[in-house]
Amino acid sequence: PFTNDLSLDEDELAAISAWVDEGAPLDVEPETPIRTLNPPQFIDEPDLVLTSAAGAYTGSTDVLDDYRCLIFDPDVDETEWVLASHFEPDQIEVVHHAIVSLHSADVRARADALDAADPGPGYTCYVTSLLEGPQGGGIPLNGWAPGQPPRRVPDGYGIPIEPGDFLIVQIHYHFDESAPTDLSRMTFDLASDAEVGAAGGSLKRLTGDLYLGPAEIPCYEGDTDPLCDRDAALDRVEDLYGGLARRIPDFMLFDCDAQVSDFAAMTNGTAWSTCERRVTNPGRVVSVMAHMHELGLRYRMTKNPGRSDELVLLDIPDWDFDWQFLYQPVDEIVLDDDDTILVECAWNRERAPFEAVGYILWAEGTVDEMCYSSVVTAPE
Taking a C-beta distance cutoff of 8 angstroms, is the pair 3, 149 a contact? Answer: no
Q: How far is CA 193 from CA 130, 141, 160, 238, in A?
A: 35, 21, 13, 49
| 149 and 191 fall within a common domain | yes
Q: What is the CATH number of the domain that holds 58?
A: 2.60.120
**Domain stop point among 158, 176, 201:** 201
Boundary of a domain, candidates 154, 172, 201: 201
42 domain residue, yes or no: no
**Is 347 a member of any domain?**
yes
CA neighbor of 321 nearest in space, from 380, 256, 367: 367
For residue 9, being part of any structural domain is answered with no
Least confident range from 172-176, 275-279, 331-335, 361-365: namely 361-365
DSSP state of 156: T
| Domains in the chain, number | 2
Pair (212, 195) in one structural domain: no
Residues 229 and 150 in one domain: no
Assess if residue 68 is contained within a domain: yes
Q: Is residue 23 part of a domain?
A: no
- Please tell me whether residues 362 and 226 are part of one structural domain: yes
In angstroms, rounded to a whole number, what is the distance separating the alpha carbons of residues 305 and 49?
42
Distance between CA atoms of 103 and 105, rounded to whole angstroms? 7
Query: 238 and 343: one domain?
Result: yes
Q: Is residue 11 part of a domain?
A: no
Residue 8 belongs to some domain of the structure: no
Residues 372 and 244 in one domain: yes
120 and 189 belong to one structural domain:
yes
Whether residues 189 and 292 share a domain: the answer is no
Res 353: pLDDT: 85
Instruction: Report whether pLDDT(133) > 70.
Output: no
- Measured between alpha carbons, how far is residue 365 from residues 64, 131, 337, 345, 361 in Å? 8, 21, 34, 18, 10
Q: Are residues 268 and 167 in the same domain?
A: no
- 215 and 191, same structural domain? no
Taking residues 85-96, what's their average pLDDT? 95
Give me the domain span that covers residue 311: 208-378
Q: Mean pLDDT across the stretch 264-284? A: 97
95-103 and 166-174 strand pairing:
antiparallel
Percent pLDDT > 90 in the chain is 73
Domain boundary among 166, 201, 236: 201
Same domain, 172 and 219: no
Distance separating alpha carbons of residues 338 and 9, to the nearest angstrom: 36
Q: What is the pLDDT of residue 134?
A: 40
Q: Is residue 368 located within the same domain as residue 227?
A: yes
Q: Is the pLDDT of residue 366 over 90?
A: no
Residue 105 belongs to a domain: yes
> Beta partners for 173?
66, 95
